[in-house]
Structure 1
Amino acid sequence: MPEPAPPSRADQVSALRPGYAADLAEGLDRFFEPPRTTCPWCGSARLETRLRTTDLLQHKPGRFVLDRCQDCRHTFQNPRLSEAGLEFYYRDFYDGLGEKQLGNTFAGRTRMYEERAESLLPFAPAPKNWLDVGTGHGHFCEAARTVYADTTFDGLDFTDGAELAERAGRVERGYRGSFPELVPDLSGHYDVVSMFHYLEHSTRPDLELRAAHRAIRPGGHLLIEVPDPDSRYARLLGRWWLPWLQPQHLHFVPVGNLRARLTDLGFTVVAEQHAEPHDPVDLLAAVWLALDTAAPRDDLPWLPGPPTALRRVLRAAVLIAGIPAFLLGTALDRLVVKRLSHRLGLSNAYRLVARRD
């Protein structure tokens, strides 16, 4: 017998709506911890508000604030999401309703993943095993095998992505859970640990770095790639800068802070890159976020009901009218800014390679 057809998106949204309605009926306060009065990186009490915004990707309800320390320049979400908030705002983004779309997006970035793996070649040409923390669906590990054919890749993620990656054969072993909690069983096991756009999602970056030091054998390497809060785009584009990614991104660490912390933990930074990890999507993404916010909402399970036919037509009209802006943004991103991103201070990410001493 043929397998039944998967439910349509409209059916999925309809099935999820009662659960979201029940969550929202309890109010949003429980999704946030009390605001901090000191910097979580250096302890300074000299804080200033850097950004106020909303959820521009899923359009779930809530308002989010990023504060910056005036002493060490660390930027962080304040008040930070609670455990309940993390569950609510992550739900149906990487898995569930959003799993297929996001999985297709990640799967289409093979060359970027290969370049990330190649950044380690000058320092570790033949690692035996590699743990990718925050692996998602394991697409990086799958692509990295073309660079390191004899390396065993494992993946770790706090969503079910790690388990999906193992079932798909993209990783040898998929660990689901918190890296600091799982690291006692992984101590000294890996030649390489990578954290690509993971550290900004963690509630305690320092604990993640300590876990990495514990998991890596002496002489092994740590690869970290994170959004660069010192990018000029962060100021020029404001809330429309995609790497802010509120409310998921909790911490934005300036490169000097991260280098110093790694040194304190017993690493030696052997490479710092800015141009290479730049992802040329800033202007295109800003256009999309602005138009998507201005247009009537799509059918989403955290809204009271599906949009009317008129609202669907209006949404399509707004997005179609924005096509010239999409094309212009794409052209500028890829043909102009990409080549000059570091020189102009526009790189949206940086990458560090550090050796465990």
Structure 2
Amino acid sequence: MARCGACGLVFQVPPPGWEDLPGYYPPEYANYSVPTSLVARLLLKGTDYLEARQVIKLLGRTGRILDVGCGSGYYFDVLSAYGDWTLAGTEISRESAAVAIAKGYPVFIGQLEDLDLPAEQYDLVRMNHLLEHVINPVTTLEKVHRLLRPGGYLLLETPNVSCPDFHLFRRYWGALHLPRHIHLFNPRNLRRLLDSSGFDLGRLQFTLMTTGWALSIQNWLKSWRDIKLVNGRMKSYPLLLLGFLPFLVVQKALGVSTMMRVWARKR
């Protein structure tokens, strides 16, 4: 990884090619699965509710939503409990897309940038932990801008390299996630990117990455001892989640948490 001296963007050198990306996301990829521990499931339910409430504030309970990188359709299941939105997604993993399609959700398989989708079709495009995975964020956001209706919303969440845990853990940082994370942002360069891509920033807030410290510690421990993992997590992982919750709350209050959530509006 390298860092831009001007804006602070952290990025892979050299970046992967488009043809490499599908191989980074096998069917067993952890982010395609739902947490199994009670603690993780409860934390996920809380974040699901907060995000659904954000969508309701922006759109009400109807409208057309595109989830870029929708996986197996978990987010569609969440939204369906809160409103009557028309939902669609994109996904590069055929296996995960097949699960969402089997649930009845329309999913376009392939890279967003390569898909021939009609312009100005969506009221909201969601990119949850997606922007850091793309080879060219500018191209991706330009495509999103084209797909949104005038005044439509972009809702995204992405890691924040200005947080203290990135500087503490470095190559063991839980949100580094190589080789899948290609670009990592800070608040300043993310604002600039959105502005140059035709979006007016509505709000940038710092959110809790409930797995942040726990995953960083797991990565550090794995570097010097053999640890058995189940679904990508060690046995004591739920205890780490609970133990570091106070750190997460303090980080959020200080505006230096591991994750940034943004909503922006198409100009």
TM-score, normalisation: structure 2:
0.86
Cα distance between partner residues in 2 of 1:195 and 1:272: 14
SS of 2:81's partner is: coil
C-alpha separation in 1, matches of 2:14 and 2:172: 20
Contact 1:133–1:157 (CA<8 Å) still a contact in 2? yes
Runs of 4+ aligned structure 1 residues displaced above 6 Å come to none
Q: What are the residue-to-residue correspondences of 1:169-208 with 2, within 5 Å? A: 169=104, 172-182=105-115, 184-208=116-140
Query: TM-score scaled by structure 1?
Result: 0.66
Conserved? CA contact 1:114–1:144, under 8 Å: no
2:85 to 141, 151, 154: 151
Whether the 8 Å contact between 2:174 and 2:216 is mirrored in structure 1 is yes
Percent identical pairs in the alignment equals 25
Structure 1 residues 85 and 265: CA distance shift in structure 2, 3 A: closer
Change (3 A) 1:212 1:144: same
Q: Tell me what 2:166 maps to.
A: 234
Change (3 A) 1:69 1:143: same
Q: Deviations over 1:270-315 (max 9, x none)?
A: 11111xx32122222122222333334769xxxxxxxxxxxxxxxx
**Within 5 Å, which residues of 2 pair with 1:235-274?**
235-274=167-206
Aligned partner letter, 2:107? G
Task: Indicate yes or no: 2:244 matched with 1:333.
Answer: yes
Q: Report the alpha carbon displacement of residue 339 of structure 1 after superposing the two structures with TM.
A: 2.1
Tell me which structure has the larger Cα radius of gyration.
1
Q: 1:327 to 1:168 in 2, by over 3 A?
A: closer
Say which structure, 1 or 2, has more relative contact order (CA 8 Å, 6+ apart): 2
Closer/same/farther in 2, CA of residues 209 and 84 from structure 1, 3 Å limit? closer
Q: Give the counterpart of 1:353 among 255, 263, 267.
A: 263
Report if aligned partners of 1:219, 1:355 keep a CA contact under 8 Å in 2.
Answer: yes
Conservation of the 8 A alpha-carbon contact between 1:120 and 1:353 = no
- CA shift digits 1:54-74 (9 cap, x unpaired): xxxxxxxxxxxx100000111
Q: How does 1:1-357 map to 2 (within 5 A)?
A: 66-83=1-18, 85-88=20-23, 90-92=24-26, 95=27, 98=28, 102-105=32-35, 108=41, 109-147=44-82, 149-160=83-94, 161-169=96-104, 172-182=105-115, 184-274=116-206, 277-296=207-226, 323=236, 329-334=240-245, 336-357=246-267
Instruction: Return the alpha-carbon distance in structure 2 between the equivalents of residues 243 and 84 of structure 1.
Output: 23
Give unpaired runs (5+ residues) of structure 1: 1-65, 300-318
Alpha-carbon distance in 2 for matches of 1:84, 1:178: 10
Q: CA shift at 1:100, angstroms?
A: 8.3
1:242 positional shift: 0.6
